[in-house]
């Protein structure tokens, strides 16, 4: 083995020499000399998990980066040379602090070449992400050889610890552990928040590259197969290089939904039955019994097409289209699975009970379609793969599945017609009575309208197979499909609807004024609550029929409307919800919720428009620091409303959403985190007084500044008693969706982490929060919040400084999402959405919103010996505080004050702003030192923290999770730094051009790509740096 002087990793000496032309540079792209394709075949022998991971990472990175450089050389050898030169100088800059030389080299690149070089670095970081995925997968495979199930290993470890007791409290009984597992209901909500910077076209190609890299590691490949795989790999990378990486227009909400669907279709849908199958086997092995077939610990929901808060592009018609598209996609998936199942289930033996149901099926078809020839013709016209003619009785399961397939086809046809033609719900899709038995019906019923109808024949087949001695067949694809239907239903993903509270108030105000009842907006909260409670209890409709028809699209009059467009859109949303299947919706979320009337108004609108019982549950979203502090009072007022408490709490469970984004922007990360912690405790106490259960919906983002972090740490850090009966909802967005669910094995690992964390939260004895901890946290919160607000909200220089030294104003051009970056057209911190606020600071590697104020609080407390001792005690024993500090340490590891200095030096437009930047960087270093001192670390990520709940056999004694993270950060910095320097140059040039009145012509066609002006090329290069830095840091918003 030869030690690489780039990252310190070990790789075979001949391997290094072949890839770098005899030099000892790292193989991850710092390639000098020629690349030997033959050398790519090197497969290192399996060693420890760490050795395997490092060797595979080096091997994979070299193969991918080499193929990319080869593609660049085919286009321009000069560009490839510039890329290699920049890489070498970036490495030197990180080891010998020669940043100025690297900056000079970037400034010397022509505008024509700048976009190409930026694109190369962007692509290198994308390929580095793939290489890390592949190496992580290899490490998992090695641990699997040690007897650890890579699919449910973390959950298995949790079960073992709960049964054994010890550090986790008293031993739990098997019955208690099984009960806790069975009640888990974790709702994973995908949002359309704009943090995924990569185009869908490239995401799909990256998935193909990832799959190819996995297959290249197969020991069974013949030399010819291997050669073909590598040729395909080079073709894919060349295609990526030739694909325009920039979105030339913003995506529509429907496009965002379809992009999200690709993850569900390719990764999550097949991962769920695999995970549940392994989970059930693990339960049997642990003595817990099989995991029930009628349960799923997960539900998948979405905000894409339902989140209209500040997004005028999400309309009632968009919501309708998204709901129906999701249902159509569900039927597509089930039809494919049923056809596969028909090939599998060729068995002839069945129970008499099942055969009797089959006779009824034949009778139904005879009445509906006539003779066998007519049935055959019908099925051929539908384009099925096989099994057209009515099947013989010696294939009973295929015969039953043929009817299931036909009814699914009918379902899809009805939904498609409804989607394209509009109107009310077709008669064939109208709800049936709960518990309806379609297998006993003498009439062919056509489309499925609820998942229980689809489950009935599948469960009947399973019961018959098991009773006939064919249980091994029943437990295969059939059980997998039953698991999928149980999890996804006919809706596929439930759609949440979100709207801002003031929009509901404006709509209600318009109604009351129209009716001559006065101005609802001017009433006191007490008056609003009394009015709403009275109307909820009334059998008389409040909204006039003419208004109902107008917003529902059924009005035939041309008379001018008495309502403005904003009010009509709010009301049209409720009219649309009422027309669609209720199971297609999850929660109605009210952003910027402050009072009980905010919730009551939404329930009243649902009642007025006839949303089916029990209607959508309504969740107030408490976001700002003041909203969090007042949340308990608002909830108490809401629960005091007898009508609401008795008739409008769905299933006896009230959902409350906790906002991490706006509270962090409002008060700073530390102050917001403690407010979220205490608010949850207070809300649980209020709910308990009224005998109501709470389920918390955590609106987390990808970055620490928006509540992001490892799943298990996030769940562990929740207050005791706030995760009730295994219920929790959490948002997953943007690049986090790709990271957690990008491929099936990764999706299984994510599901494993969720289940393990929820079981631990339910059964592990949490240490009590000491009074002195609470007292000190209150002081830390106050001090940090004051220090944060003093800079962000009270310093008159700050907004201008933010606009100068970050790419905040330019982020909108990246066309990342369909939602505008600002709530209002006002240039203030308050008007900026939390995602671009965090995104902009992440790009500069300064991450100011995460750490600002924290250092002030810790330093002040550390001056008091008694409080300093409490700080140390909290870090060692208070998991909430420990998590906050450890995540801050990770943020500092990803930050770089030298890069931030460059942004200030070249972009700040006055000495006053430069002085502000200098003071903030001083604060940055002082806060960094305070964090290291508190954690007892000499340098960032140099602690000995163990990975969260990793099975003993999987723990890597040579490299902790922190050490691995630090190594990856250091490797990525060499690629990211040139992009930062290019970004600074691009920002300076585009802003100077704007001041001079210069503009560029938007690219509208392929021909325009080659005819771009220098300014257009620099603008493209700027956006490419945004994408590349985001890909390198792996969390942006």
Q: In whole angstroms, how far apart are CA 676 and each of 167, 429, 697? A: 27, 43, 12
Question: 190 has which bridge partners?
Answer: 302, 732
Token pair 């190609």 in the structure block, residue = 205
Classify residue 271 as exposed, middle or buried by CB count within 10 Å of its CB (0-12, 13-18, 19+): buried
Catalytic residue among 161, 193, 399, 504: 193
Question: What's the gap between Cα 19 and its chain centre?
Answer: 37
Contact 812, 947 (CB under 8 A): no
Contact 652, 693 (CB under 8 A): yes
Q: Is 368 a known active-site residue? A: no
Q: Comparing C-alpha atoms, which of 41, 4, 1 is closest to residue 20?
A: 4
Q: What is the 3-state secondary structure (H, E, C) of 509-573?
A: HHHHHHCCCCCHHHCCHHHHHHHHHHHHHCCCCCCCHHHHHHHHCCCCCCCCCCCCHHHHHHHHH
**Phi, psi (rounded to 5 degrees) for 506:** -65, -40
Question: 617 has which bridge partners?
Answer: 587
Catalytic residue among 230, 665, 698, 894: 665
Q: In whole angstroms, how far apart are CA 58 and each of 25, 134, 377? A: 12, 11, 58
CA atoms of 225 and 215, how far apart (whole Å): 10
Helix axis angle for 49-75 and 77-96, nearest 10°, is 140
Burial 773-793 (b: 16+ CB within 10 A, else e): beebbeebbebbbbbbbebbe
Question: 822 has which bridge partners?
Answer: 832
Contact 819, 313 (CB under 8 A): yes
Q: Is the peptide bond before 577 cis (omega within 30 degrees of 0)?
A: no
Q: Comparing C-alpha atoms, which of 648, 557, 556, 643 is closest to residue 611?
A: 648
CA atoms of 500 and 602, how far apart (whole Å): 11
Helix axis angle for 596-609 and 565-579, nearest 10°, is 60
Helix axis angle for 565-579 and 501-514, nearest 10°, is 100
CA atoms of 67 and 63, how far apart (whole Å): 6
Which pair of tokens denotes residue 495? Answer: 């759609």
Residues 6+ apart with CB under 8 A from 368: 443, 444
Q: Comparing C-alpha atoms, which of 279, 330, 274 is closest to residue 300?
A: 330
**Phi, psi (rounded to 5 degrees) for 895:** -90, 165
Q: Is 665 a known active-site residue? A: yes
Cα dihedral value 793, 796, 797, 799, nearest 10 = 50
H or E element at residue 971: helix 961-995
Q: Comparing C-alpha atoms, which of 539, 663, 657, 653 is closest to residue 598?
A: 657
Classify residue 51 as exposed, middle or buried by CB count within 10 Å of its CB (0-12, 13-18, 19+): buried
Which 8-state DSSP code applies to residue 10? E
Contact 855, 896 (CB under 8 A): no
Residues 6+ apart with CB under 8 A from 702: 195, 708, 733, 734, 735, 736, 1035, 1036, 1037
**Phi, psi (rounded to 5 degrees) for 235:** -65, -45
Which pair of tokens denotes residue 960? Answer: 């902790």
Contact 114, 122 (CB under 8 A): no
Contact 23, 4 (CB under 8 A): no
Active site residues: 193, 665
């Amino acid at each position: 083995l030869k030690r690489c002087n780039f990252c310190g990793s070990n790789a075979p000496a001949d391997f290094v020499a072949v890839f770098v032309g005899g030099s000892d540079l790292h193989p991850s792209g710092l390639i000098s000399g020629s690349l030997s394709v033959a050398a790519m075949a090197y497969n290192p022998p399996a060693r420890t998990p760490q050795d395997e991971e490092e060797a595979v990472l080096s091997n994979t990175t070299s193969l991918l980066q080499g193929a990319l450089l080869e593609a660049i050389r085919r286009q321009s050898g000069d560009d490839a040379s510039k890329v290699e030169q920049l890489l070498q100088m970036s490495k030197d800059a990180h080891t010998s602090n020669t940043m100025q030389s690297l900056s000079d080299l970037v400034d010397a690149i022509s505008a024509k070449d700048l976009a190409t070089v930026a694109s190369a670095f962007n692509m290198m970081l994308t390929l580095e992400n793939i290489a890390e995925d592949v190496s992580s997968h290899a490490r998992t495979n090695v641990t699997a050889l040690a007897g650890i199930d890579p699919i449910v290993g973390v959950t298995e470890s949790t079960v073992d610890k709960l049964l054994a007791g010890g550090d986790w409290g008293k031993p739990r009984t098997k019955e208690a552990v099984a009960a806790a597992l069975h009640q888990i209901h974790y709702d994973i909500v995908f949002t359309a928040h704009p943090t995924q910077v990569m185009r869908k076209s490239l995401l799909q190609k990256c998935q193909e590259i990832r799959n190819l890299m996995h297959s290249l590691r197969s020991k069974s490949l013949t030399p010819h197969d291997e050669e073909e795989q590598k040729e395909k790999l080079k073709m894919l990378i060349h295609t990526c290089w030739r694909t325009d990486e920039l979105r030339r227009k913003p995506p529509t909400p429907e496009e965002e939904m379809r992009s999200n669907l690709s993850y569900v279709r390719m990764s999550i849908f097949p991962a769920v039955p695999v995970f549940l199958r392994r989970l059930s086997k693990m339960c049997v092995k642990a003595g817990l019994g099989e995991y029930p077939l009628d349960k799923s610990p997960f539900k998948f929901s979405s905000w894409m097409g339902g989140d209209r808060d500040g997004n005028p592009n999400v309309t009632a018609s968009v919501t309708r289209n998204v709901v129906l598209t999701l249902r159509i996609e569900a039927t597509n998936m089930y039809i494919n699975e049923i056809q596969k199942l028909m090939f599998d289930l060729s068995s002839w033996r069945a129970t008499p009970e099942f055969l009797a149901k089959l006779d009824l099926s034949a009778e139904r078809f005879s009445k509906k379609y006539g003779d066998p020839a007519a049935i055959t013709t019908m099925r051929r016209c539908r384009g099925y793969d096989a099994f057209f003619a009515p099947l013989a009785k010696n294939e009973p399961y295929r015969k039953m599945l043929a009817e299931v397939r036909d009814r699914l086809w009918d379902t899809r046809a009805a939904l498609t017609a409804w989607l394209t033609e509009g109107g009310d719900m077709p008669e064939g899709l109208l709800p049936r009575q709960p518990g309806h038995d379609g297998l006993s019906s003498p009439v062919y019923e056509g489309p499925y309208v609820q998942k229980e109808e689809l489950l009935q024949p599948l469960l009947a087949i399973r019961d018959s197979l098991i009773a006939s001695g064919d249980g091994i067949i029943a437990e295969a694809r059939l059980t997998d499909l039953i698991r999928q239907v149980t999890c996804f239903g006919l809706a596929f993903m439930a759609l949440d609807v979100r709207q801002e509270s003031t929009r509901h108030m404006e709509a209600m105000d318009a109604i009351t004024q129209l009716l001559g009842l006065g101005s609802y907006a001017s009433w006191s909260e007490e008056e609003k609550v009394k009015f709403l409670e009275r109307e909820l209890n009334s059998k008389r409709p409040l909204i006039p029929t003419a208004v109902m028809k107008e917003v529902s699209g059924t009005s035939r009059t041309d008379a001018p409307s008495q309502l403005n467009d904003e009010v009509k859109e709010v009301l049209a949303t409720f009219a649309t919800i009422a027309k669609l299947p209720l199971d297609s919706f999850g929660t109605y979320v009210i952003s910027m919720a402050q009072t009980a009337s905010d919730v009551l108004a939404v329930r009243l609108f649902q009642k007025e428009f006839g949303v089916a019982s029990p209607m959508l549950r309504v969740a107030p979203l408490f976001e700002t620091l003041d909203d969090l502090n007042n949340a308990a009072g608002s909830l108490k007022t809401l629960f005091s409303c007898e009508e609401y408490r008795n008739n409008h709490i769905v299933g006896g469970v009230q959902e409350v959403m906790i906002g991490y984004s706006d509270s962090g922007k409002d008060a700073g990360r530390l102050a917001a985190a403690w407010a979220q912690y205490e608010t949850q405790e207070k809300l649980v106490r209020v709910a308990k007084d009224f005998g109501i259960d709470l389920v918390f919906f955590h609106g987390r983002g990808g970055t620490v500044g928006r509540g992001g972090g490892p799943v298990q740490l996030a769940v562990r850090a929740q207050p005791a008693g706030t995760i009730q009966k295994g219920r929790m909802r959490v948002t997953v967005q943007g690049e986090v969706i790709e990271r957690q669910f990008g491929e099936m094995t990764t999706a299984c690992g994510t599901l494993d982490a969720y289940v393990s964390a929820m079981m631990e939260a339910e059964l592990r004895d949490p240490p009590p929060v000491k009074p002195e901890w609470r007292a000190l946290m209150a002081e830390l919160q106050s001090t940090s919040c004051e220090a944060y607000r003093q800079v962000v909200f009270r310093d008159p220089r700050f907004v201008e400084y933010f606009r100068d030294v970050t790419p905040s104003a330019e982020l909108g051009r990246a066309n990342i999402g369909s939602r505008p970056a600002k709530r209002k057209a006002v240039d203030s911190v308050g008007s900026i959405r939390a995602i671009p606020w965090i995104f902009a600071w992440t790009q500069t590697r300064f991450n100011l919103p995460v750490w600002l104020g924290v250092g002030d609080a810790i330093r002040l407390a550390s001056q008091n010996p008694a409080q300093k001792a409490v700080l140390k005690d909290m870090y060692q024993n208070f998991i909430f505080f420990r998590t906050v500090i450890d995540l801050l340490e990770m943020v500092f590891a990803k930050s770089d004050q030298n890069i931030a200095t460059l942004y200030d030096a070249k972009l700040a437009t006055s000495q006053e702003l430069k002085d502000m930047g200098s003071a903030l960087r001083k604060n940055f270093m002082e806060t960094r030192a305070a964090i290291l001192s508190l954690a007892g670390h000499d340098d960032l990520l140099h602690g000995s923290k163990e990975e969260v709940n990793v099975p003993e056999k999987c723990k890597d004694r040579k490299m902790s999770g922190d050490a691995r993270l630090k190594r990856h950060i250091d490797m990525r910095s060499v690629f990211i730094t040139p992009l930062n320097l290019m970004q600074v140059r691009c920002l300076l040039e585009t802003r100077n051009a704007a001041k001079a009145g210069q503009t560029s012509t938007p690219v509208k066609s392929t021909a325009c790509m080659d005819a771009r002006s220098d300014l257009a090329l620099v603008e493209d290069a700027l956006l490419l740096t945004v994408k590349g830095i985001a890909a390198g840091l792996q969390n942006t918003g």
